[in-house]
Amino acid sequence: MIHNNRYRFTIYALVLFAHLVAAVNFIGPSPVLPIVVDELGVSSSYAGLYVSSMTLTVTIASIPMSILTNRFGLNKFYIAGWAILGVGVITVFVEQFELLVLVRIVQGLGAAIILPTSATVIMQWAPEKEIPVINTVNLSAFTAAMGVGLILGAPVAEWLGWKILLSFEGALGILGAVLWLLFYRSNTEQGLARESEQAILQQISVVFKDKTTWLLSAAVIGPWAQFIALSTWLPTYYLTERGFDLAMAGFTTSIFTFAGLPATLFGGFLIARLGKRRPILMVSGGLLGITAFAAVISTALPFIYLFVFLTGFLQWVYEPAIFTVPMELKNSTPEKASAIWAGMLTAGNASSFVAPVIVGLLFDVTDNYLPGFILIFAISSSLFFASVLLPETGTGGARDDLLIRDK
């Protein structure tokens, strides 16, 4: 692999755009959920299913797609992922709620290809010292795109219609496929590629037998569940329980998402400054459920803004660290890192799929959002408990050697 090739910045831009497009499609229905409920006449639990159905496919397909991508070729599969994500362009023509859910499920297959495979792309092109920086930039872009979607989603939907909005977001996937086709180049020598292809199943089997993979996957279960549950239901909660209008509810929730932009940048600074990963993970995991609870029980607007921001900050500040760990493990390769990312995406998106449905279901039963919220806040502590057991992969101080080994 040639890391001093300046063309790597073009590749970085392609991966960055992938994160932007995935983000706006993931968050797409959330700011317009009250409109969807009123227009289609569905229950809160079914509305939660519509938002989280995309993550269902990511949950099921991330690991198989990671294996197939490495087996049959990154370039072809990445283009396919873009095109499948672009299926959302047909939303404007779909009338039945069940078919709308199906469109989201299909889009999730595209995300299941693109997101874990990005680890392979980054490791093929980026020098080791640039990897934390690239991860930080991509995650910052992801959070910024979600925040913009939350702010602009409701007013754009009221102006053009929510189906046109979601169709436009899907069309960005088609654009991504075209850009990838035009500009992507491989940075892996053919001989190495053939060797990797022959060894990939053995490498991946080692990854999924390792304790570190399971700990990383367990770590993201709680925070991701909390993030998607709050992104889905905070606008409706503030609309119905705090008397906000739709635009105000979307703006307040966007603070939760936009906090991720300074958080990921600060998280990238911390991993460079401290040279450690675990302290960042443990502090975030210990606090984010507490601040989330304060955000939903606060009644004064300044306190709502404060705790929404703090919760969003804690939801994202650890992400650069946790996504860098798989790339720093002993004997790590692009294929192994991609497989670990796939495992994390599977676990995190499984909880993300269930969380908004649980909150909606408990609301249907109790006519109160707090039971569902409190349950999700408690689960968010998985980040803290898993991080206590994780090895330290950073360069600051002693570096643990309990890492993935070739067997």
CATH number at residue 67: 1.20.1250.20
Mean pLDDT of 86-102: 87
pLDDT, mean of residues 156-174: 87
- Considering the domain boundaries, does residue 66 fall inside one? yes
pLDDT band at 195 (very low <50, low <70, confident <90, very high): very low
Q: 377 is written with which tokens? A: 């806040």
Domain-embedded: residue 265? yes
404 vs 158 pLDDT, higher one: 158
- Work out the percent of the chain whose per-residue pLDDT is above 70: 90
256 inside domain: yes
On average, the pLDDT of the chain sits at 82
pLDDT at 105 over 70: yes
pLDDT of residue 138: 86
In a domain, residue 400? The reply is no
For residue 39, what pLDDT band results from cuts at 50, 70 and 90?
confident
For residue 193, the model assigns a pLDDT of 47
Between 283 and 201, name the one with better pLDDT.
283
Structural domain including 79 reads 8-389
Q: What is the pTM of this model?
A: 0.71
**Best-predicted range by mean pLDDT (205-214, 317-326, 376-385):** 376-385
Structurally, how many domains does the chain consist of? 1
Is 397 within a domain? no
Flag the least confident range among 75-79, 201-205, 318-322, 376-380.
201-205
Q: What is the pLDDT of residue 204?
A: 64
- pLDDT value of position 250: 75
Average pLDDT over residues 90-102: 86
Own/partner long-range contacts of 6-12 (Cβ < 8 Å, ≥24 apart):
7/185, 8/125, 8/126, 8/187, 10/183, 11/121, 11/125, 11/184, 11/185, 11/187, 12/122, 12/125, 12/126, 12/134, 12/137
Min mean pLDDT across 166-175, 180-189, 299-308, 385-394 is at: 180-189
Residue 402 domain-assigned (yes or no)? no
> In b/e form, how buried is each residue of 300-326, taking b as 16+ CB within 10 angstroms?
eeeebbbbbbbbbbbbbbbbbbbbbbb
Beta-carbon contacts of residue 229 (< 8 Å; ≥ 6 apart) = 355, 356, 358, 359, 372, 373, 376
> Would residue 329 count as lying in a domain?
yes
Q: Does residue 239 register a pLDDT over 90?
A: no
- Is 122 within 8 Å of 194 (Cβ atoms)? no
Q: Can you give the pLDDT at residue 6?
A: 80
Task: For residue 379, count CB atoms less than 10 angstroms from its CB and return exposed for 0-12, middle for 13-18, buried for 19 or more.
Answer: buried
Rounded CA-CA distance 48/62 in Å is 21
pLDDT-derived band at 345, boundaries 50, 70, 90 = confident
Whether the predicted pLDDT of 207 surpasses 80: no
Q: For residues 115 and 143, what is the distance between their CA atoms, to the nearest angstrom?
A: 15
pLDDT in tens, 70-87: 677 778 888 888 999 999
For residue 37, is pLDDT > 60?
A: yes
For the cut 50, the answer to whether the pLDDT of residue 406 exceeds it is no
Furthest CA-CA distance within the chain: 63
pLDDT one-digit tens code per residue, 274-286: 878 889 999 999 9
Residue 289: the pLDDT is 92
Does residue 202 fall inside a structural domain? yes
What pLDDT, in 10s, does the model give residues 355-366? 888 888 898 888
Mean pLDDT throughout 312-327? 89
Residue 59: C-alpha distances to residues 109, 348, 350 (Å): 9, 8, 5
- Residue with the bigger pLDDT between 95 and 266: it is 266
Tokens of 44: 């809160």
Q: Which residue has the higher pLDDT, 208 or 84?
A: 84
